[in-house]
Structure 1
Amino acid sequence: MHLTLTNATILRPDGWAQDEITVDGAVLSDQSAPRRVDLSGFKVLPGIVDIHGDGFERHLAPRRGAMKDLTAGLVATEAELAANGITTATLAQFWSWEGGMRAPEFALRFLDALEGYAGLGTDLWVQLRLETHLLNDFSRFEDAVARYGVGFVVFNDHLPHEALAKGKRPPRLTGQALKSGRSPEAHLAMLQDLHARAPEVPAALTGLADRLRAQGVLIGSHDDRTAVARAEWRAMGVALSEFPETREAAEAARAAGDPVVLGAPNVVRGGSHSGNVSAAELVMGGIGDALASDYHYPAPRLAALALDRWDLVSSGPARVLGLADRGELMPGKRADLVVLDAAGRVGATIAGGRVTHLAGEVAARFLA
C-alpha cells in the first residue's frame, strides 16, 4: 500500500496535530504519495498493542470440543481485533491443570494452528500462562516455549489453596472436573496432590525463570496481592506485574521499577468486577504501563479514550514487550494505525501497511 492520509487530526508523540501521514508499504513515511485520502473530521492514532487478551477463546471453541480445525476461529479472532483497532495482539493461552481449553493439549493444538496461520495483517503474539504447581509439566512446557518461539510467559496459581488446606471440597469442583474429563473424585485427588507440592514450587519456578530469561523470554506474575509477593516474584527474576489486585502490590511494583499491566475492562466498568483495586485510580495515581483487553477486545480503545491516555494502549505496551518498531506514528515505524470518528468508533485499521478493517464513511473515502 502506498497512500497519504490527509487533513486528519493525528496523534504524534508530542501531541495532536492537523497533519498528513503516508503509508509506504509496511512502514510510515513523511513523503507524500500520489494517492491521497481525505480524512477531514477524523482522528488517526497509533494502532493498539494488546499485551494480554483471552477473548479469542470464544472464537476457537464456542462449544467445548466442538471445533476440530482452529483456523476459522483465528480468522474470526483477527476480524474482531481489527474492528477494535488492535494491530498487535498477544493471545493469552493457559497451560493448566484446569482442562478443556486451558489444558496443555489444547495449548499445543492452538500453537500448531497459529504457527500455520496466514494472517490478514494483524501481528499475533502468544503469551503462555503456566500454572505454577504443574511441576511435572515444566519440561514439556519449556520445550513448547522453545519449539514455537514463545516470547512471553506468565505464572498463574489458580489452585483453591484455602479450601484444600482445610480439607474441604473446593467450590465448582464438579464443573471443573467435567470440563477436564475427570471424575470429581479424581479431580479432587489431583488438586490435593498439586497443593501438597507447594514447598517445591519456588525453587522449581526460579530455575525455570532463569532458563526462560536466558532465551529472551519476558516473564510476568499474575494477580499479585501483596508487596511481599511482588518482591518474591522479583527475586525469582519475574519482573512484570500483570493485573495486581491491590494498591499495595501495584505500588510495590512501581517503586521497584517493575512494569505494571492493568485491565482495560476494569476501567470501562468503573472498577473491578471482583472487588479488586480500581485500574483508573491507579492510572490517575501514576501507576500503570499498559492497559490490556483481558477478556473484552473493545475495552482498550474505550478505556484509553475515557482516560485520555492512548499511550497506555500503544507506546506503553509496545515498550513493555520490547517492540521498538511500533506504538507511535513516526516515519520508519511499522504502519500500524487506527482511524476514529468523532464518537470514537473505528472506521479503519491498518496493520503492517495492510487494511484489516474498513467501515462506514471512512470506507467510502478510501474507496472513492
Structure 2
Amino acid sequence: MRETVFANAQIVLPDEVVIGSVLVRDGKIAAIDAGAGRSGEDLEGDYLIPGLVELHTDHLENHYRPRPGVFWDPLAALHAHDAQIAGSGITTVFDAVRIGSDNDLPDMLAHARKLVDAVRTGGAGGWLRAEHFIHLRCELPSHDVVDHFDALADHPMTRLASVMDHTPGQRQFRSLDAYRRFYAKQMGRSPQELQAYVDARLDEHRRYAGPNRRAIVSRARTMGIALASHDDATLAHVEEAETDGVAISEFPTTLEAASAAHEAGLAILMGAPNVVRGQSHSGNISATDLVVGGLLDILSSDYVPYALMQAAFLLPQRVEGLDLPAALATVTSNPARAAGLEDRGEVSLGKRADLVRVAADAPLPVVRGVWREGLRVS
C-alpha cells in the first residue's frame, strides 16, 4: 500500500476551496479533510488542484517539425513535448496529429505514423510523465484522409477525431479576403500564386470533403471514437455536427454557432491562448465573451501548453461571478467528461490522484509539483 498526504493546502474541490489535507492511497484520493487534521507534505498554503486535461494540442507536431523542412526525431520530439506538458500541470493529453496529405506534405501518412508510433512506444514503455492519447485531426478535403484514418485509428490510444475543413471561404476563414491577408506573408507567394492555390483548395473541397466526412463519421461511430467538429461558423454546420453524433464543438467562430452548439448539447471548446490574448488570432469570436455568455465548457492549450493553467486562473479576474472551481472545471472535469474519462478531473473521493501544486501569489500561477496517480512526475 502506497500512501501520501498533502497537508496545509488550499484544495480546489468541484464547487469550493477548502484549507486542509488530501490523503492519496495507491494512486487514488482516499480522504479529504478540512482543517489541520493530518500531517504530511506541507504545501505551505499553495493550491492543490486536479491535473489538467488537454484535448487538442498541436504542440507535439511543433516539436517534430520545428522549422519548415526540418523533421526532428519523433521520440525526442515526444520527450520534449511531454516534459513541457507535465511541467504545465497537464496530466492527461490528447496529442493532435493531422492526417490528410497536402501540397506541403504530400506523404502525410509517413509523418503521422511516426508521431503516433512514438506516443504508443512511450506509453507502452512507461516513461511518459503525462498520460497520452491520440486525437486524429482529419482534413476532409484531402484525397487520402480516409486511408490515413484507417491506418491509424484502430488502437486503444486513439480516442478522439475531429473533422476539419480549412478550405478558403469555409469556417475559420469565411472571408476569402481575410484568408489572403492571413496567408500572403506566411506562404510567401505572389497574388497570382495565392489565387491558384485558393482555386485548387476549393476544387478539392468540392470533390472530397462531403464523402470523406461521411466515411470518417461512420468509422468513428463503429469504433467508439469520440467526434469533434472544428470551426463551426453557421447553424448548418452545427446541425450537421448534431446529425453526425459529434460530442465537442471545437473553436466555433461565431456567436450564432456557439449558441446553437450549446442548445444542441455539444461541449464547446475554445483556445486558452484566445483567453490570455483577449482575442482570436484570426479575428473570430473571443473565448472570454463565450464564458460571459455561459457558452464555454472546455479550454484547450492549442499551441502553448502553459496557456491552459494561465487562462484558468485568469478567467475569475476577468469574468464577474466566475469562481476558481468553475474556471478550473474548463480544464479538468469538463474535458475529462467530454472524452469519457470519468475517473479523473476532480479532487474527489475515489478519483485518480492526478494533482498539481500551484502557487498563485506571483503575477502568474506557478506550477510547483505535479503528481499522476499519486506519483510525482514534475
Same fold judged by TM-score > 0.5?
yes
Structure 1 equivalent of residue 242 of structure 2: 234
Structure 2 equivalent of residue 316 of structure 1: 334
Is the contact made by 2:11 and 2:47 (CA closer than 8 Å) also made in structure 1? yes
TM-aligned CA distance change 1:133 to 1:120, over 3 Å:
closer
Is the contact made by 2:53 and 2:93 (CA closer than 8 Å) also made in structure 1? yes
Across the two proteins, how many residue pairs are aligned to each other? Answer: 347
Q: 2 CA distance for matches of 1:82 and 1:71?
A: 16
Q: Percent identity?
A: 33
TM-aligned CA distance change 1:101 to 1:177, over 3 Å:
farther
Is the contact made by 2:28 and 2:374 (CA closer than 8 Å) also made in structure 1? yes
Q: 2 CA distance for matches of 1:18 and 1:101?
A: 55
RMSD: 3.1
Is the contact made by 1:6 and 1:39 (CA closer than 8 Å) also made in structure 2? yes
Q: Structure 1 counterpart of 2:377, which letter?
A: T
Structure 2 equivalent of residue 327 of structure 1: 345
Structure 2 equivalent of residue 8 of structure 1: 9
Structure 1 equivalent of residue 320 of structure 2: none
Using the TM superposition, give the Cα deviation of residue 336 of structure 1 relative to its aligned residue in structure 2, in angstroms.
0.5
Is the contact made by 1:265 and 1:293 (CA closer than 8 Å) also made in structure 2? yes
Q: Which residue, out of 37, 47, 53, partners 1:49?
A: 53
Q: 1 CA distance for matches of 2:146 and 2:119?
A: 22
Q: Which residue, out of 36, 40, 44, partners 1:36?
A: 40
TM-aligned CA distance change 1:173 to 1:138, over 3 Å:
farther
| 1:18-73 CA-partner distances (Å, limit 9, x unpaired) | 11112223222228999821112211011111111112233223234544521122
Q: 1 CA distance for matches of 2:106 and 2:6?
A: 42
Structure 2 equivalent of residue 307 of structure 1: 315
Is the contact made by 2:143 and 2:204 (CA closer than 8 Å) also made in structure 1? no
Q: Structure 2 counterpart of 1:266, which letter?
A: N
Is the contact made by 1:210 and 1:237 (CA closer than 8 Å) also made in structure 2? no
1:18 has 2:13 as partner:
no
TM-aligned CA distance change 1:302 to 1:140, over 3 Å:
closer
Gaps of 5+ in 1: 179-183, 358-368
Structure 1 equivalent of residue 119 of structure 2: 114
Q: 2 CA distance for matches of 1:100 and 1:139?
A: 16
SS of the equivalent of 1:130 reads: strand
Is the contact made by 2:10 and 2:48 (CA closer than 8 Å) also made in structure 1? yes
Q: 1 CA distance for matches of 2:107 and 2:159?
A: 19
Give the alignment of 1:131-142 within 5 angstroms.
131-142=139-150
Q: 2 CA distance for matches of 1:207 and 1:138?
A: 7
Give the alignment of 1:125-136 within 5 angstroms.
125-136=133-144
Structure 2 equivalent of residue 96 of structure 1: 100
Using the TM superposition, give the Cα deviation of residue 238 of structure 1 relative to its aligned residue in structure 2, in angstroms.
2.8
SS of the equivalent of 1:146 reads: coil
Normalised by the length of structure 1, the TM-score is: 0.85
Q: Structure 2 counterpart of 1:336, which letter?
A: D
Give the alignment of 1:84-233 within 5 angstroms.
84-98=88-102, 99-100=104-105, 103-117=108-122, 118=125, 119-147=127-155, 149-160=157-168, 192=200, 195-196=203-204, 198=206, 201-233=209-241
Normalised by the length of structure 2, the TM-score is: 0.82
Using the TM superposition, give the Cα deviation of residue 173 of structure 1 relative to its aligned residue in structure 2, in angstroms.
8.4
Q: 2 CA distance for matches of 1:225 and 1:31?
A: 44
TM-aligned CA distance change 1:37 to 1:156, over 3 Å:
same
Q: Which deviates further from its counterpart, 231-240 or 105-114?
A: 231-240
SS of the equivalent of 1:254 reads: helix
